[in-house]
Chain A
């Protein structure tokens, strides 16, 4: 018996074009009728253990978001299956929390109300407010619970989003380029906070998509590189350097050069 937390078996994903106009849904039954489809992921196999911090790297457009959404249950693959804790994934779940690349706080709710959305099981409203404050404090956000998302900077919004995700007490946390679009310094801060959160919640499995190689090297204990589309797993490396890590150190330098190489960059650094 295999006890892996997440098992991805021979997953293939294709987008199908229906009505000849728009790429619509993930390929399944419709494919045959319209004929046209675009294979995005091809025969992906993965094993992820509980508590792992796995980074997924790859060129933009290679299918990283798609892979994450398949595992999180937002879409069904055209072939293959995903199992979590031995059970086939059949839809999104409240303890498999997704932090979206595009940023998805509800703009019509305050920051506090947004976090409280993940705390609806707490019946008492005072208690809920108190807890949402605590989760915000966890990501160094204080005194903004009554502000609307548009009043905050991009970095603060991203923190709030992480706070909402944490408030849902994730068993698995999916993070799709959560820090892209932020300035370098903010990214470094948030990177530190991610590390801290993962140390605090060692049982939470984290799947983290990024295109920042240093970010991946510093945070994760495993690195998965996807190839050009149709994407396959090109390379899978375990990193067992203890934290805190310096991505420029000798231990990681070698690995880093290899990763750049895999991603087709030969001259950098």
Chain B
């Protein structure tokens, strides 16, 4: 019966029963938690770094069309290069350990964030800048009372997308340069011929991804960006 083989597994693929017991074992002995925290830590660091650089730069480029015309070809040139193609350079520049992983996640999150923030600030309706000129907003007020809040809905959407990408990429990055994290768990499981480890890691990745996305969706419902939904 096919459902029996799902439960008990086959030669190659572990069954549900074994997966459940491995999941139980790895969660209770702290291995799963340790790897998850390691992955989340790398994503957080690389992602924050990307946000801190890409969002201000993107908002700036969106308001300075001429500079953007100069920079954009470079961005479009670098963007389609898969973050994983940077692995050799990441290892060359940063050795092994956390730092090459930070770098790869940074690359993965940076370009989508940069492009979306550029679009977000470039598409602010010019009338708001006329109001700002009329009210004599200072340069600083123009940034934090106009460009930032007006661009926020677009930025948050980009945060959501690029966090998803970062989470996808961290696993791949961890298969290469480090000895911890969910990606490492997968590679380790493969080398040890423990496909149940692999599956448990995959399940965890999926669940964390879902949770991260839920957090980001909550951001989208914040008062400060709700206007976007109602405003044409």
Query: Residues on A close to B: CB < 8 A?
Result: 72, 74, 91-94, 96-98, 100, 102, 104, 106-109, 117-118, 120, 148-151, 168
Contacts and interface: CB of A to CB of B under 8 A. Distances in A.
Interface stretch (B56-64, B111-119, B125-133, B212-220): B125-133
B152 interface: yes
Contacts of B231: 107, 149-150
Interface residues on B, range: 20 to 34
B interface secondary structure, majority: helix
Contacts, number: 60
B12 interface: no
Interface of B: 127-128, 130-131, 133-137, 141, 145-146, 149-150, 152, 223-228, 230-231
Given A102-B127, A150-B231, A108 B133 contact: no
Nearest to A108: B149
B198 to A, nearest CB: 46
A125 to B, nearest CB: 15
A91 B135 contact: no
Residue among A96, A100, A106, A149 having the largest count of chain B Cβ atoms under 10 Å: A106
B131 A100 contact: yes
B90 to A, nearest CB: 39
13 contacts: A74-B130, A96-B134, A100-B131, A106-B131, A106-B145, A107-B228, A107-B231, A108-B149, A108-B150, A117-B145, A149-B227, A150-B230, A151-B230
Contacts of B136: 92-94
Nearest to A161: B131
Nearest to A100: B127
A148 B226 contact: yes
